[in-house]
Amino acid sequence: MAKVRTNIMVCTGTGCLANESEKVIRNLEVILKARGYAEEVQVIKTGCFGFCEQGPIVKIEPDNVFYVRVSPKDAKDIIDEHIIKGRRVERLLYVEPKQKEKINRQEDMPFYKKQLRVALRNCGLINPEDINEYIARGGYEALGRVTTEMTRDQVIEEVKKSGLRGRGGGGFPTGLKWEITKKQESDVKFIICNADEGDPGAFMDRSILEGDPHSVLEAMAIGGYAIGADKGIIYIRAEYPLAISRLNTALKQARELGLLGKNIFGTNFSFDIDLKYGAGAFVCGEETALINSCEGKRGEPNYKPPYPAEEGYWGHPTCVNNVETFANITPIIMRGAEWFASMGTEKSKGTKVFALAGKINNVGLVEVPMGITLREIIFDIGGGIPNGKKFKAVQTGGPSGGVITEEGLDTPIDYESLLERGSMMGSGGMIVMDEDDNMVNIAKFYLEFTMDEACGRCVPGRIGTRRIFEILQKITDGKATMADLDALKQLAYMVKDSSLCGLCQTAPNPVISTMKYFWDEYLAFIKDVDHPRGEGKYTAENKAEIKS
Amino acid sequence: MAENQKQDQDRKMLRIRINDQDLTVPEGITILEAAHGIGVKIPTLCHLDLHDLQLHNKTASCRVCMVEVGDAIRNKLVPACVTKAYDGMVVRTDTLRAITARRMAVELLLSNHPNECFTCPKNLECELQALADELNVREIRWEGERMDYPKDLSSDAIVKDSNKCIYCRRCETACNVVQTCGILSGIGRGFDAFVGPFFNIPMVETSCTYCGQCVQVCPTAALTEAYHVDKVWEALNDPDKHVVVQTAPAIRVALGELFGMEPGTIVTGKMVTALKRMGFDAVFDTDFGADLTIMEEAAELIYRIKNNKTLPILTNCCPAWVKFIEHQFPELLHVPSTCKSPHIMFGTIAKTYYAEKKGLDPDNIVVVSVMPCIAKKAEAKRPELTKDENNNVDIVITTRELGAMVKEAGIEFDRLPDSEFDRPLGEATGASVIFGTAGGVIEAAVRTAYEWMTGETLENVEFEQLRGMEGVRKAAVRIGDQELKIGIASGLGNARVILEEIREGKADYHAIEIMACPGGCIGGGGQPYHHGNDEIIKKRREAIYQEDRRKKIRKSHENPEILELYRKYLGEPFGEKAHQLLHTHFEKRERI
């Protein structure tokens, strides 16, 4: 085999693919062949780099040059200039918007500087369709160690000590969940990976599955070993075709190498994984709804208890963990619980992946240590608000979360601090709003989403969310009175208090938090308050008038 | 019962506090049950726990039973119906937060519910309406969109008005878990969710058996029977028509409930008086048809045993059960008895024998059946039973509809004197009365088969081994030197168990009785609503056996009018003419 001197790594995450990175790859390969460099320079398809705003991303190694917004016609220059003549293609370098400087190294870019990549460690680095690249990065070593050197209790103890908590939103301690499932007396147990990512604007799980599918498969096998399950299920939404195809490739390759299947690493431990496709219902991310859906039933939640750990898939003890949670498992096994616990805050250890979206310069995927402030994420990593506009608020936790305003920007973020601020960690969606955004409209947007996605099983979820939305509509139409605001508040708390599952228990959060922080924007729409009625638009003049 | 107590003793005991009352409860008990024990009533709506009927609806979806659990620092609202007590639990059912949440849940339901209580078939029988009163709902603050679906009037039996569906899923549990028919389930999402057949296809296109258990448990009028009261009034007011009415055995032990009488009150005499005062030309008894059925079925059983024909024989008095086997087990259609059901037999005899005897034109006779059943409405419209010469039963009304007619007629039911059924088709035996409860048909058949097979007189006619509320009962009856193996199933889920045994060749029975409704016809879909109290069904059952004991003649083949019917008109039981008039056939149907 010829010696490869240079790797051209091209992002093939969904975002970059949508911007023709597939064509970039084809052009690169054709030109390399034409120039006779096909042997010594190879083009590698990688997972997501996270900097989706600047995609398609192309990185040249070992030169460590990071090209952004590469179009198919740029392939010629990359080969002719960079590869053949050794000259960087200046126009494809990232320009830091504040200093207007060109930056060619990834680690020098503000977007990456404060990031700490644990769950995303291999994304953008390896070819997700080649198990050997994963193994070259230490892949499946943790599974080998676990199955041959560690007892089930030791594995659970390690995960418990690490302080890892569920990354799907609830933040339940992962080790404890494993322990509870392990303790159940049953011959048949299941471990399920929840890949039903549904928050608008969130794509953490998709990127991991697209960019590093084996990290999830390996961790599921470790989890299966720990709890005593020989069967895993990945419940993934059918709208993630690329992730599904990469998972299928990964499963096939892992089975071929005996890393899944019977007697893994020559031990008595056997484990395999099935894929189940979700039809796109948001509520199926709730674990009991997910299990119902896996069983072919209507995707709606059950009341808990019994928890899935006690009675889950077909009544058997079942452990449901999120994609990102799994992606943290092998580093914990390989580098130790202490290392993991050294990152983060007292109660929230490790890192968290966030999807930055909305009014922010650097839209993309970032992984940061717990305890970082929102200010650092939004202004340092995210590059601040575009067009010189003023920051107004950030919605964390997707439609289930709430808004956090300027005064909350310096709080170190973890599960508890976000809850205290009336929002939540959620799965990691982060949507930034600027001064032009009307917060009543924002609340209405989220309510429309949860109202549509509610399964309908419980009365507050089925009718309550609809009525909340209708009152919000009435408000923004300028037809509401103060009595409507009272009714809205009361209803929002009732739905939060009385709904059956997490979806609708958290659905009113955007309303409750915007009412708390932006009450005057609600008042601006009210007809019996003495001020000019807003035409669905909040204006500075309105605000001044109400305050006086 | 003793077993339950023993289980309680073995269970761990928990100390909890509800509304400042300390109590000790066994582990596993819910807040709702614990509160009930100390006289604290927590409202419920979706919750339904019918132990004897094996129906447990625990969807915890209406949120009408929310109570506050916790202490001053941290407390939350939980649904009392499914939340189990734990040691040290502190519950308050009467905090402002809990009361407001419960009331708002009902307000929300009402905000999406048609405002038509006055004209609703469930007016004053509606659990949502009762709850609105109980929870002091005085205004509905939430105006907005409402569900707007057309009524499903496609079937002759069940009317589905989805706009009144509160999505409690009781019907779904009855249909899927108890009856295993799988017709009704949640469809649509969020605000648009309601219960219906898949893709909301019309009921008539489904494999619905019309057993009516969904109607029986529906708290509102989302599912009701097709209403045929006006047809009866029209017939009664048509001077050219000779209108005869027959009442099924289970009516007389339930009708009184509609007039405030204790469940289990036997009102046979008052019922007959009421029907006579309403203007029926003759008031007859379906029990006559039941005795006739026994003559045919017992003869068919003996014929099958003696000639090594298909065994077991399955009774088929229940039209819901017949439709069930047609849809679900079409390969077993040779197994049931070919007898028509009692009220259809009655209709045939009314329009032939009775018409001849009275010199009436059969076309001018209107046969009205009062049934505890909704499926009988659809049965009476089956093509093979409505051919001109056999247009057997014209109108079927339920116990509830009869009650409504009595009220409409201005008859003060509880003050009525007793009267006797008319002759000849009102003469009936104790054997036919017990048709109304599960196990009754087979017991009646055994009473006759015993004497016919042995030629001896049966002294003790009560077969305790054939009585009980279990869903599936297996028993043996010694008849001479032969042991007759009997199976009894009530509830279609239980029927399925037995049918699967038959299909797999594992069944070892001579005769099996199957009733679609748990407990038999006393628990029928057309009976007064039990509103979640299965004690009512037990009391009706006791009353049925009491009525049997009061009868002088307790064996069908000793009914003098039946004997005369065979002597003068039909000839031999299971003979040619009987075949022609009293037997039918079944049809393979699709499973949808």
pLDDT tens digits for range A481-504: 999 999 999 999 999 999 999 999
Among A451, A460, A465, the residue with its CB nearest the CB of B63 is A460
State the average pLDDT for chain A.
Answer: 92
Q: Residue B330 falls within a domain, yes or no? A: yes
pLDDT on residue A105:
87
Contact between chains at B190 and A490 (C-beta distance less than 8 A): no
Options B81, B317, B318, B517, the catalytic residue: B317
Token pair listed for B358: 């009275």
CB of A303 closer than 8 Å to CB of A263: no
C-beta neighbour count of A447 within 10 angstroms: 24
Angle made by CA atoms A207, A424, A357, in degrees to the nearest 5: 45
- The CATH number given to A6-113 is 3.40.30.10
B→A contacts (Cβ < 8 Å), by residue, are 59-64, 66, 76-77, 79, 82, 84, 97, 100-101, 104-105, 108-109, 111-112, 141-145, 166-167, 185-186, 188-193
Contact between chains at B185 and A298 (C-beta distance less than 8 A): yes
User: Residue B100: its chain A contacts at CB < 8 A?
Assistant: 490, 494
**Per-residue pLDDT tens for A503-526?**
999 999 999 999 999 999 999 998
User: Residue B144: its chain A contacts at CB < 8 A?
Assistant: 466-467, 470
Asked if the model's pLDDT at residue A332 lies above 70, the reply is yes
* Non-local CB neighbours of A468 within 8 Å, separated by 6+ positions: A447, A451, A488, A491, A492, A495, A507, A508, A511
Contact between chains at B192 and A466 (C-beta distance less than 8 A): no
ipTM, two decimals = 0.91
User: Residue A306: its chain B contacts at CB < 8 A?
Assistant: none
- What are the phi and psi torsion angles at B363 (to 5°)? -65, -20
pLDDT range class, residue A536, cuts 50, 70, 90: very low
Asked if the model's pLDDT at residue A199 lies above 80, the reply is yes
Give chain B's residues under pLDDT 50.
1-2
A332 vs B: CB within 8 A: no
Among A281, A487, A498, the residue with its CB nearest the CB of B105 is A498
pLDDT range class, residue A537, cuts 50, 70, 90: very low
Minimal C-alpha gap between A455 and chain B (Å): 5
pLDDT range class, residue A548, cuts 50, 70, 90: very low
CATH value at residue B52: 3.10.20.740
A284 vs B: CB within 8 A: no
Tell me the β-bridge partners of A67.
A58, A93
Contact between chains at A463 and B104 (C-beta distance less than 8 A): no
CA-to-CA distance for B118 and B129, rounded, in angstroms?
A: 11
Minimal C-alpha gap between A458 and chain B (Å): 4
Buried b (16+ CB within 10 A) or exposed e, B47-75: bbbbebbebebbbbbbbbbbbbbeeeeeb
User: Residue B145: its chain A contacts at CB < 8 A?
Assistant: 466, 470
pLDDT on residue B343:
95
Q: Residue B244 falls within a domain, yes or no? A: yes
Among A456, A464, A465, the residue with its CB nearest the CB of B193 is A456
* Non-local CB neighbours of A187 within 8 Å, separated by 6+ positions: none
Q: Which CATH number fits domain A351-434: 3.30.565.10, 3.40.1440.10, 3.30.360.10, 3.10.20.600?
A: 3.10.20.600
**Domain chopping of chain A, boundaries:** 6-113, 131-340, 351-434, 439-547
Q: Residue B174 falls within a domain, yes or no? A: no
Q: Which residue of B has its CA nearest to A501?
A: B61
Q: Residue B120 falls within a domain, yes or no? A: no
> What share of chain A in percent tops pLDDT 70?
96
* Non-local CB neighbours of B370 within 8 Å, separated by 6+ positions: B245, B246, B247, B248, B251, B397, B398, B399, B401, B402
pLDDT on residue A97:
80
Q: Residue B6 falls within a domain, yes or no? A: yes
pLDDT on residue A527:
72
Among A451, A456, A498, the residue with its CB nearest the CB of B167 is A456
| Sheet architecture: strand order including B482-490 | B313-314, B511-515, B482-490, B472-479
Instruction: State in Å, rounded, how far the first CA of chain A is from the last one.
Output: 78
User: Residue B112: its chain A contacts at CB < 8 A?
Assistant: 463, 466
User: Residue A452: its chain B contacts at CB < 8 A?
Assistant: 189-190
Options B521, B539, B547, B556, the catalytic residue: B521
A504 vs B: CB within 8 A: no
- The CATH number given to A131-340 is 3.40.50.11540
Minimal C-alpha gap between A460 and chain B (Å): 7
A498 vs B: CB within 8 A: yes
**Per-residue pLDDT tens for A106-161?**
888 889 989 999 999 999 899 999 999 999 999 999 999 999 999 999 999 999 99
Indicate the DSSP class of residue A532. P
Contact between chains at B190 and A300 (C-beta distance less than 8 A): no
pLDDT range class, residue A458, cuts 50, 70, 90: very high
Q: Which residue of A has its CA nearest to B113?
A: A463
Domains A351-434 and A439-547 share a fold: no
pLDDT on residue A542:
46
A494 vs B: CB within 8 A: yes
Rounded to whole angstroms, what are the CA distances from B423 to B35, B319, B367, B426, B562? 54, 27, 15, 5, 11
Contact between chains at B167 and A455 (C-beta distance less than 8 A): no
Q: Is B317 tagged catalytic? A: yes
Asked if the model's pLDDT at residue A540 lies above 50, the reply is no
Contact between chains at A459 and B100 (C-beta distance less than 8 A): no
Alpha helices by DSSP H, A402-480: 415-420, 439-453, 459, 465-476
- Specify the number of domains making up chain B: 2
Minimal C-alpha gap between A283 and chain B (Å): 10
Indicate the DSSP class of residue A200. T
pLDDT range class, residue A170, cuts 50, 70, 90: confident
Helix, coil or strand: residue A191: strand
Options B262, B384, B412, B564, the catalytic residue: B384
Asked if the model's pLDDT at residue A531 lies above 80, the reply is no
Tell me the β-bridge partners of A320.
A192
CATH value at residue B485: 3.40.50.1780
Token pair listed for A416: 């508890």
User: Residue B142: its chain A contacts at CB < 8 A?
Assistant: 463, 467, 470, 487, 491
Q: Residue B358 falls within a domain, yes or no? A: yes
Token pair listed for A471: 């009152």
Options B155, B162, B337, B432, the catalytic residue: B337
Select from A282, A298, A467, A474 the residue whose CB has the most chain B CBs within 10 Å, as the one to mutate to test that interface: A467
Q: Which of B93, B109, B125 is the last residue before a domain boundary?
A: B109
CB of A46 closer than 8 Å to CB of A9: yes
Minimal C-alpha gap between B71 and chain A (Å): 16
Interface contacts A/B by beta carbons within 8 Å: 103
Contact between chains at A462 and B97 (C-beta distance less than 8 A): no
Contact between chains at A463 and B77 (C-beta distance less than 8 A): no
Q: Is B300 tagged catalytic? A: yes
Q: Residue B158 falls within a domain, yes or no? A: no
Q: Which residue of A has its CA nearest to B82?
A: A303
CA-to-CA distance for A94 and A322, rounded, in angstroms?
A: 33
Among B82, B111, B186, the residue with its CB nearest the CB of A467 is B111
Options B68, B172, B300, B443, the catalytic residue: B300
Contact between chains at B167 and A451 (C-beta distance less than 8 A): no
Contact between chains at A498 and B77 (C-beta distance less than 8 A): yes
Q: Is B234 tagged catalytic? A: no
**Per-residue pLDDT tens for B144-177?**
999 999 999 999 999 999 999 999 999 999 999 9
Q: Which of B109, B129, B152 is the last residue before a domain boundary?
A: B109
Which residues span the domain enclosing B46? 2-109
Q: Residue B198 falls within a domain, yes or no? A: no
Contact between chains at A455 and B188 (C-beta distance less than 8 A): no
User: What is the CATH T-level fold of the domain A439-547, as seen in this structure?
Assistant: de novo design (two linked rop proteins) (1.20.1440)
Among B101, B109, B142, the residue with its CB nearest the CB of A498 is B101
Token pair listed for B467: 């009585």
